[in-house]
Every structure is written in C-alpha cells, then in structure tokens.
A and B are shown apart, each in its own frame.
Chain A
Amino acid sequence: MTALLETRRLTRQFGGLRAIGDLSLLVNRGEILGVIGPNGAGKTTLFNLLTGIYPPSSGEILFEGLPIAGLRPSEIARRGVARTFQNIRLFRQLTVLENVRIAYDSRLSCSPLGALLLTPHAGFSERESVEASMELLDLFELGSLAENRAGDLSYGAQRRLEIVRALALDPKLLLLDEPAAGMNPSEAMQLTDFLRWVHGKFSLTIVLIEHHMQMVMALSDRIEVLDFGVRIAGGKPDEVKGNPRVIEAYLGTEGELP
C-alpha cells in the first residue's frame, strides 16, 4: 500500500454550485503532487475538504487507509495532515514562537485540570514545547525573531513561518496552498529549492496548489489538473504540459478570441 491519501468520488456542493464533483485522487507516500487549474476550479475547496474545514457532500476521504471525512479539523491535523493557507493565516497578534507552539501543543498530553493547577507534568510539557519549537525555528533561521509579533514579519518571513508552523504538527502530509503567491520569479525559485529541502528533511508527502507554472513543473512528481471541480487531466509534468484539454482550460479554445 503506497497510497497515503485517497479520495473516492468526493463531492462538495454549495447550494446549486458543484465546487468539487466526483473527484477520485490518489496521493502516494513520499511524492510531491501538483494540483493546478484555473481560478475557481475548486483547488482550495479540495484542501478545505481534506482538512475537514468543510464536510464533503458525498464521497470518501481515506488517510492511511482510514476514513477521515467528517472528523474535526483538529483531529485530522493530529493524525498528520498539515496545511498552509492561500491568504496567510498566522496568529498575527501572537509571537513567532507562540505561533509554532500552538501547533506543537497538539502533541502534548496535559489535561485541562493539570494545566489550571500547574502540575509537574504540565510544567514539563511547557518546557518541552518551548524547546522543540525553538529548535524548529532555529532550523529555519527564524530563531532570532522568536519574540517578535508574527504580524510584524516581512511577507516572505510570514510565508516561511506558516510552513514552520505546519511542520510543528509533525505531519505526514503537507498541503501547500499557493505558497509562491505574491512572489517574484527569483523568490519563487528560492522557494522551490526551500520546499525541495523541506520535503527531504522531514520525509514528507506534499500536495501543492500553485499558479506559478515553472515552480509546479520543477517540483512535482505528478500533476493533477482540475477545472470546474472535475479532474480533467493528470500525469507527469511533461504529459500535462502538452495536453490539449489543459491548454483549453487555461487559454480557451481556438476561435474564441478574435
């Protein structure tokens, strides 16, 4: 069994709009899967379904062979699915360290009553969470910014912090929603190298939504193409690049333009 994540006839309806329709996908352990498609194709909805933010209208999601559809997002996160957001969603008022600690905290076992009364175990978990989070921040050269407010960081550092925060969950699967949004080509190339390093270092499986084609082509082992919530193509980057249906979805058919 090499599939880490599998969706079976996954559907999500918003009123009359079918954001995702009958989508069956397979994500293999250890690969980087690119998900592309025009705006409104349902890519972010797919992530919201996978992380439990929306329940699916029908269909199944299997993570490590177990159904996860309908679980709370926090439970799915604990099982090893971490994500970043298209529009950065850091805890802006909190410090860089606190941002990472909040994700790390889900691994701590202290009970609410233990926390209120500060039992030795609760104190020990606190120390563990600070040290592990600092270690992670140092690894990403954000250690010196640990006490800064997350909202005060530069745009690039915020993007990086969001990835670090997701990694603090110790995920098996990392979902990246347009990590290169708002970056220029050279920054995007840097990010490509960075993601490749992260992928190897944490032995992750990554699903990547991105509009930056150069980056998707360079990183992905496979690419799935969505349009109007339906899978229209898929395969190796080179196969997808030449697929007429993909070109049509992105550019429209011949003769439409004068």
Chain B
Amino acid sequence: MMDGIKKHLIPLSLLLLGLVVAAVLPATGLVNDYLQFVLISVAINAILCVSLNLVNGWMGEFSVGHAGFMALGAYASAILTVKLFPTAPAELLFPAAVLIGGCTAGLAGIPVGILSFKTRGDYLAIITLAFLMIVKSGLENIPYTGGPRGLLGIPRLTTLAWAYFWCVVAFWVIRNLVYSKYGRGIAAIREDEIAAEAMGVNTRTAKLVAFVTSSFFAGVAGALFAHQLQFINPSSFDILKSTEILVMVYLGGVASLGGSLLGAGAVTILTQCLQPLGTWRMVVLPAILVVLMLYRPSGIMGYRDWAWLKPFFPLTPRSNEKKETETGEGLQ
C-alpha cells in the first residue's frame, strides 16, 4: 500500500510543479507574449489531438468532424462570458464556461455516437463531415452569435496555467479510459467488431463512451481557443481545422498518448518556425507527412506509449501473498 502511494506521489508532485511553473512563468517576464501564445496553442492542440486520437486511433474510425465539436465548445463558453455573464468574476466564470463548453460538445457527441452503431469506415467519415457542415452553417445563421461575422470581444481568460491544467486533465482522463475495460473494448472494435461483440464487449456502450469523451475534450479545447484568440467566427472551425488536427494525430502516432503530445507539439511549433519561409511552408509540412506515411504509416509513436504515461496498479494482497510464499519456498 505504501509502495503504491509513493509511486503516485512522484508524478503528482511533478504535475503540480508544472502547474506552478505555468502560473508563475508569465509573471517573471522570462517568456514574452508570443512564446506564451505558442505554448498555450501547443496545450490546446494537444487536447484536440489526444481526443481525436480516441476515435481515429484507438477506435480506428475516421472522424473529420472534430472542428465541429470544438466550435460548439467555443461558442457555448463565449456566450456565457460575453453575452450572459459579462460582469461575473473571471476566476469563477471561466472554469464553469470551459466545463459547459465541454458538456455542450459532449452532448452533441451522443447523436454522432449513435449513428456510428451501424455505420463505419468511409460512411462514418461522411457522417462526421455532414455534422461539421451542419454545425458551421447553423452557426452562420444564428444572429445571436453574430452569424458569419462571429463573436467579438471575448475576454482573454486562457492563461498558460489554465491551458496546462486542462491539458493534464484531458490526458489523465483519456489515459484512464484507454487502460480500462472500455478502452480495451474500443481497441477491440478497431481490431474486429464481430469478435468484440462475441467476447462480451457491448460495442454500443464503447462507441458512445469514445464519442462523448472525445467530443467533450474537443469542446474544452474550443473554449480555451475562443478565450485565447478573443474572437471566433464559424469559418475558424471548417474542414481545414479538422484536417490540421488529423495531421497531428497521424504524424504523432495513432492510439498513443505520447504520440498525441508529440504530434501536437511538432505541428504547432513547426508551423511557427516555418513562418519565414512564406508560402513554402505549405509545402514542407505535407512533404513530411508523405514521407512519414511511406515509412511509418501509423505515425512516430503509433500503437506504443512511454511507460511513464501508463497507469500503475499496485498488486493486490492476494498476489503479493502468493509471491511471498513462492520466494519463501525458494529460500528453504
């Protein structure tokens, strides 16, 4: 038991240290606004990447609707902070707005999940595309949120600390999921749906859990995104945004937590570093992608993960006892 607590203490204190650093760093003046912007973008993109990876990597489907879930989270949270409670204290309002953004997107994940019961592969990809189009044209036609012009004057509430916090939450929750009974069920659907059902996996529950969790975190990322840029319009969430997340997933590695982090970091930082190249940066990233698909089709970290990202379960007393008696016999 003590052993288990100790094992948990080290990662926990490291994560807390990270949070303190993220909270203090902007105040020290060591990082300028630009660098802060890039770091926050990395965190937001990592949330998007790991959540899309749940559906596209672990479950092996192909969703192109992630930007749609992101849009719902962004708009729901911005309505709260701009329209409904513009005067509420930000410390209370912002966490609630992000959470509600996530829940709105998570609710929208339910019908898409239900549609995935009977359709898969290319057909499901088309359904997610349709979902994205519905969300985008829906938002364009709602005057309350500014129609195609979008929502302006969103307060800048996404700090480095908040982005870091939500990023850790997303990775922690999705890690728990993929290393649980439901996560194994999701992977079994990818491998062989009929065999999964025959082995007692309720594929409907597994698909719903995957879609709702995935869209919830897309919504969270959308809320953070809205309060980072201070301006959102429907065309910020078009198919190109989805594609950008897809690139991160397939570059970093499918069905991998480490890969999601790597993919989001690499793509975000590369696009920034390649700015001086002008139009040529549009050539470099796709070229990298082509080379990667040729030599490593499942991405840099596909289907693998670093050990420190996996959960640790101390052994139960039963097996400890067994070990002890075994070694005891060995000594005699």
Contacts and interface: CB of A to CB of B under 8 A. Distances in A.
A124 B202 CA distance: 21
Given A105-B184, A115-B176, A53 B200 contact: no
A105 B192 contact: no
A115 B188 contact: no
Chain A interface, DSSP helix/strand/loop, else mixed:
helix
A53 B203 CA distance: 13
Contacts of A85: 195, 198
A72 interface: yes
A91 B190 CA distance: 9
Residue of A73, A94, A131 with highest tally of chain B CB at under 10 A: A73
B176 A116 contact: yes
Chain B interface, DSSP helix/strand/loop, else mixed:
helix
Contacts of A103: 199-200
Contacts of B314: 127
Interface in B177-198: 177, 179-185, 187-188, 190-192, 194-198
B313 A89 contact: no
Residue of A74, A94, A117 with highest tally of chain B CB at under 10 A: A74
Contacts of B243: none
A7 interface: no
Nearest to B322: A131
B201 interface: yes
A120 to B, nearest CB: 11
Nearest to A124: B316
B303 A110 contact: no
A220 interface: no
Contacts of A91: 187-188, 191-192, 195-196
Contacts of B187: 91, 93-94, 98
Interface in A50-84: 51-53, 72-75, 77-78, 82-83
Interface residues on A, range: 35 or more
B181 A89 contact: no
Contacts of B195: 85, 89-91
A239 B110 CA distance: 57
A126 B197 contact: no
In order of increasing CB-CB distance, the 10 nearest A-B pairs are A106-B200, A115-B180, A91-B191, A105-B181, A73-B197, A77-B200, A89-B195, A118-B176, A103-B199, A74-B202
Interface of A: 51-53, 72-75, 77-78, 82-83, 85, 89-94, 98, 101-103, 105-106, 108, 110, 112, 115-118, 122-131, 165-166, 169
10 contacts: A51-B198, A72-B204, A74-B197, A74-B200, A74-B202, A77-B197, A78-B200, A102-B184, A115-B181, A126-B313
Given A83-B198, A91-B192, A93-B303, 11 more contacts: A82-B199, A89-B194, A90-B192, A93-B190, A98-B187, A102-B196, A105-B181, A115-B180, A115-B181, A122-B180, A169-B200
